[in-house]
Every structure is written in C-alpha cells, then in structure tokens.
Structure 1
C-alpha cells in the first residue's frame, strides 16, 4: 500500500457493531428493570459493559486489524493490573476476616 493511501473498511461492520452495542445496552437496562439483585445483577452489568468495551476497542479503535504485538502491548498491561487488583482484594478480605476474628472473640 502506498504511503498516501488509507485502508477502507465496509460500513456494514460499523453498523453491525452499533447494533450490537444497542442490544447490549438494552440487556444492561433490562437487568435493572427486571429487578435482579446481588451478585447476579453486578455480574451481568459488568459482563455487558466489558463486551461493549471490547467491541468498541476492536472495531472503532481498529484493533482487529492491528498486529499481534500492538494488541499485546495495549491489552496485556491492563490485564496484569486486574490480576493484581484481584490478589489485593483477596488479601484484604483475608486481613479483614482475621481482624474480625481477633477483635470479636
């Protein structure tokens, strides 16, 4: 490809993703409308949010058409941060339970 040429993607891909984003948003609102409670509600809302973010990153930020090295350079660091946050949450929960057991014996 010459330096001045730009790659064109079919508009149908973008319209399809817009439709999927709309459907996922409707599902997210339905979770609240139908009255789901507790962990199920937050799991479903988080799942739909992550799916929408994935579609936006993949198509509108053109990550689908990038090389694997660029994809890994952008997506691996946030993934590592999520794993570290989960480890800190587990440790924090353990510390809280130990303190509650010690102070309220």
Structure 2
C-alpha cells in the first residue's frame, strides 16, 4: 500500500457488527425483563458485556486488521491484570476461610 492511502473496509462489516451489538443489547435487557437472579444473572450480563466490548475493540478500533505486536500491546496488559485479580480473589478466599476456621465462627 502506498504512503497516504487508507485501507477501506466494506460497510457490510460495520452493519453486521451494529446488528450483533443490537442483538447482544437486547439479550442483556431481557436478562432483567425475565427476572433472572443470582449468579446466572450476573454471568449472563458479564458475558453480554464482554462480547459487546470484544466486537467494539475488534471492528471499530480496527484490531482485527492490526499486526500481532499492536494486538499484544493492547490486550496483554488487561489480561495480566485480570489474572492477578483472580489470584488475589483466590488468596482472599483462602484467608477468609482460614480466619473462620481459626476463630471457630
């Protein structure tokens, strides 16, 4: 590609993603309308949220068409943070259970 030329993507891709975002938003709304409760509700809401965020990052931020190095720079740090949060949650649960066992509560 020559200097100054922009890469063009068909409008159909964007329309398809807008449609998918609409469908995912309706699904997220239906979780509240149906009245789901507990872990199922929060799992579905989080799943819909992550799917919508992934579509927006992939298409509207043009990550689908970027090089692997740029993708790694953008996606690896949040992945590492999520992994560390998981480790902290596991360790916090262990401390809580240890304290409950020690105090006899």
TM-score scaled by length of structure 1 = 0.95
Deviation at 1:98, TM superposition (A): 1.2
Tell me what 2:51 maps to: 51
Gaps of 5+ in 1: none
Deviation at 1:103, TM superposition (A): 2.0
1:102 aligns with 2:102: yes
| Partner SS for 1:3 | coil
Tell me what 2:74 maps to: 74
CA RMSD of aligned residues (A): 1.0
C-alpha distance in 2 between matches for 1:4 and 1:67: 18
C-alpha distance in 2 between matches for 1:53 and 1:63: 12
Q: Which runs of 4+ in 1 moved over 3 A?
A: none
Gaps of 5+ in 2: none
TM-score scaled by length of structure 2 = 0.95
